[in-house]
């Protein structure tokens, strides 16, 4: 199992700076998601910035989330 998200910091370019429980920091680009289904709401930057780290992943108020394994495997090291 891959490390889970400890903290998240949203960025104005629709990326997330993630700190994982193993101490690694990575950047995840959310832009590719913005044209798909429930993720279209994230285009609104004020809503995008409401992201929180919960249960080892990232979530938004209307229950959008991203698989924690995806976050770890598809993000780039800082």
Q: Can you spell out the DSSP letters for the chain?
A: -PPPEEEEEE-TTSEEEEEETTS-EEEEE-GGGTTSGGGGGGGSHHHHTT-EEETTEEE-TTS-EE-HHHHHHHSEE-
CATH of the domain at 67: 3.30.2020.10
Question: pTM of the prediction?
Answer: 0.95
Question: Total domain count for the chain?
Answer: 1
Specify whether the backbone of 54 is left (phi greater than 0), alpha (psi in -120 to 50) or beta: beta
Model confidence over 27-68: pLDDT tens digits?
999 999 999 999 999 999 999 999 999 999 999 999 999 999
- For residue 58, what are the domain limits? 5-77
Confidence at residue 1, expressed as pLDDT on a 0 to 100 scale? 81
Residue 7 has pLDDT above 90, yes or no: yes
Using an 8 Å Cβ cutoff, are 64 and 42 in contact?
A: yes
């Amino acid at each position: 199992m891959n490390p889970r998200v400890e903290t998240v910091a949203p960025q104005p370019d629709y990326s997330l700076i993630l700190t994982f429980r193993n101490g690694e920091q990575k950047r995840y680009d959310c832009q590719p998601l913005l044209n798909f289904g429930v993720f279209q709401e994230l285009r609104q930057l004020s809503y995008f910035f409401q992201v929180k780290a919960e249960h080892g992943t990232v979530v938004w108020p209307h229950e959008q989330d991203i698989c924690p394994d995806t976050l770890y495997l598809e993000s780039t090291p800082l």
